[in-house]
Structure 1
Amino acid sequence: MSLYSLFVIALALSLDAFGVALCIGLNNGIKRGTKVLFASSFGFFQFLFSLVGAYAGFLFNTYIASVPEIIGGALIAIVGGMMLKEGLESKDECPLIKPGMFIVLGISVSIDAMVIGFTALDNISSNLVILQNTLFIGFITLLMSMTAFIIARYLKRITVVSKYADYIGGIILIIFGIKIMFF
């Protein structure tokens, strides 16, 4: 997988975390340490879930059956469609910020990373390359989350902005899934 393709995947996956981080950042009661905790959680779980997905995909392809590129591309496009569906659902309020919520939100924005790891990162034969790719995905998510918190300082009055992150991420994943299936 090229660095460009990996970057596009990482960027698309990180947009869920970006939207949630933007929403959290719009809350005036959130302190800097809490923002770092949320961003770190988002990056860690994106890394962990894409790593688990990559190894699960590798084991599935090795010992059960190979997942053809058309099925893998279709699954990625379906994840994109699910992100679009999430964007269409009402998100008028930010998630409640309670103790331990950074873990719950970190997991919830990272579930799609497992599917992407299973379908897009499973054909890599080197453990080091899988680790590097999944670390890259987690790092991009960390950067995007921190960027969202910085942007939120300036967008405190425009709460509708976080809604569009799901749309953009979903469209990118659908296009990438179609690219895998047909090109």
Structure 2
Amino acid sequence: MGLIQLFILAVGLSMDAFAVAICKGLSMKKITIKKAGIVGLYFGAFQAGMPLIGYFLGIQFRDKITSIDHWIAFVLLALIGMNMIRESRKNECECECEIAVDCMSDENTEDSIVKKNSKDPLAFKNMCALAIATSIDALAVGVTFAFLNVNIASAASFIGIVTFALSMIGVKIGHVFGTIYKSKAEFIGGLILILMGIKILLEHLGIITF
């Protein structure tokens, strides 16, 4: 897998984290480089770690199923991509609804001020849960890496860096523009993964050679 292909795959995988980062940016009253960096580190670290786990799980079976490895890569990427596209439709207004509920519940009362101060959008448990949820797809992709000619350390690091950068950008976009790009990001990410799966399959079948 070449650098360009890996970059395209990394962008596709990072779209879930990018979409959630948009929601994070929308919920923050003030955006700083530090806050955006924290969001990026959570998502980037998990997005880099999950392919490693998937790779070492997949490598256990690589020698036994080499004849169908390209079909496995295709099916996994296609399923992940279709799920992302489905989620982009289902959750199109999810982020807006959550923010609206927060606004309705946080009236200008003494109790609401205490509640606001106790809500930390970057709380460890919350961010870990989100980071795991948005990186599960990368775990499955790591399994496909076990069947392809991929340097897993470089690939995982590259995916993490791309996710880190896009997550920081997502926080800023969410703060400035709201959720207009959230569902679009998930849809594009899903489409990219499906196309990558098709490309891998066609290459192994000898239909295309690039």
TM-score, reference length from structure 1? 0.87
Q: Partners of 1:165 and 1:46 in 2: how far apart?
A: 17
CA contact (8 A) 2:52 2:139 kept: yes
Local SS of the residue matching 2:37: helix
Local SS of the residue matching 1:123: coil
Residue in structure 2 matching 1:155, options 158, 173, 177: 177
Q: Which runs of 5+ in 1 are unaligned?
A: none
Q: Do residues 92 (structure 1) and 100 (structure 2) align?
A: no
How many residues are treated as equivalent by the alignment? 177
Write out aligned runs for 1:3-42 (5 A): 3-29=3-29, 31-32=31-32, 33-42=34-43
Residue in structure 1 matching 2:189, options 169, 174, 179: 169
Q: Which runs of 5+ in 2 are unaligned?
A: 100-120, 204-210
RMSD over equivalenced CA pairs, Å: 2.1
Residue in structure 1 matching 2:130, options 92, 97, 105: 105
Q: Partners of 1:34 and 1:166 in 2: how far apart?
A: 23
- Find the counterpart in structure 2 of residue 146 from structure 1: 168
Q: CA deviation at 1:13?
A: 0.3
- Find the counterpart in structure 1 of residue 103 from structure 2: none
- Find the counterpart in structure 1 of residue 148 from structure 2: 123
Q: Partners of 2:175 and 2:15 in 1: how far apart?
A: 18
Q: CA deviation at 1:29?
A: 3.3
Residue 139 of structure 1 aligns with an amino acid whose one-letter code is: I
- Find the counterpart in structure 2 of residue 44 from structure 1: 45
CA contact (8 A) 1:124 1:130 kept: no
CA contact (8 A) 1:71 1:181 kept: no
1:151-174 CA-partner distances (Å, limit 9, x unpaired): 234314xx2321111100001111
Q: Partners of 1:119 and 1:30 in 2: how far apart?
A: 40
Residue 147 of structure 1 aligns with an amino acid whose one-letter code is: I
Residue 197 of structure 2 aligns with an amino acid whose one-letter code is: G
CA contact (8 A) 1:72 1:177 kept: yes
Q: Partners of 1:82 and 1:30 in 2: how far apart?
A: 33
Q: CA deviation at 1:145?
A: 0.4
Q: Partners of 1:87 and 1:152 in 2: how far apart?
A: 16
Q: Partners of 1:90 and 1:152 in 2: how far apart?
A: 16
Q: Partners of 1:16 and 1:174 in 2: how far apart?
A: 15
Task: State the identity as a percent.
Answer: 33
Q: Specify the structure having the higher radius of gyration (Cα).
A: 2
TM-score, reference length from structure 2? 0.76
Local SS of the residue matching 2:27: coil
